[in-house]
Amino acid sequence: MYFNKEIECMKRSELKALQSERLCALVKYVYERVPFYKNKMDALKLKPSDIKSIDDIVKLPFTEKTDLRDNYPFGLFAVDKKDVVRVHASSGTTGKMTVVGYTRDDLEVWAEVMARSLTCAGVTPDSTVHVAYGYGLFTGGFGAHCGAEKIGARVIPVSSGNTARQVTILKDFEATTLCCTPSYAAYIGESIRQHGYDIKDFKLKSGVFGAEPWTEELRSKIEQSLNLKAFDIYGLSEIIGPGVSIECNANKGLHVWEDHFYPEILGNDFEPLSDGETGELVFTTLTKQALPLLRYRTKDLCTLDRSVCVCGRTHARMGKITGRKDDMLIVRGINVFPSQIETVLMQMGYLSPTYQIIVGRENNTDTMEVKVELAQNMLSDVVANVESIIDDIGKRLYSVLGLNVKVRLVEANSIPRSEGKAVRVIDNRKNK
Q: How far is the CB of 367 from ligand DLL (least distance, A)?
A: 26
Q: Which is nearer to ligand DLL, 92 or 152 (CB)?
A: 92
What is the nearest approach in angstroms of ligand DLL to the Cβ of residue 245? 8
Distinct helix (H) and strand (E) counts, the chain: 12, 21
Instruction: Give the containing element (helix H, strand E) for 371.
Output: strand 365-374
Cα(233)–Cα(217) distance, integer angstroms = 16
What backbone torsions phi and psi does residue 427 show, to the nearest 5 degrees?
A: -105, 95
Task: Supply the minimum distance, in Å, between the C-beta of residue 179 and ligand DLL.
Answer: 8
Nearest to 295 by CA among 23, 8, 39: 23
Q: How far is CA 234 from CA 190, 255, 266, 288, 410, in A?
A: 24, 10, 18, 18, 32
Closest by CA position to 258, among listed 322, 208, 308 = 308
Minimal CB distance residue for ligand DLL: 210
Nearest distance from C-beta of residue 180 to ligand DLL, angstroms: 8
Q: How far is the CB of 337 from ligand DLL (least distance, A)?
A: 12
Nearer to ligand DLL, 210 or 292 (CB): 210
Question: Which is nearer to ligand DLL, 293 or 389 (by Cβ)?
Answer: 293
CB-nearer residue toward ligand DLL: 242 or 374: 242
CB of 404 within 8 A of CB of 417? no
Closest CB to ligand DLL among residues 115, 236: 236
Which residues bind to ligand DLL, rule: CB under 6 A? Answer: 90, 133, 139-140, 210-213, 232-237, 241-242, 298, 300, 321, 324
Contacts of 387 (CB under 8 A, 6+ apart): none
90, 211 contact by CB (below 8 A): no
- The CB-of-422 to ligand DLL minimum distance in angstroms stands at 11
Identity of the residue, 207 or 405, whose beta carbon is nearer to ligand DLL in the bound complex:
207
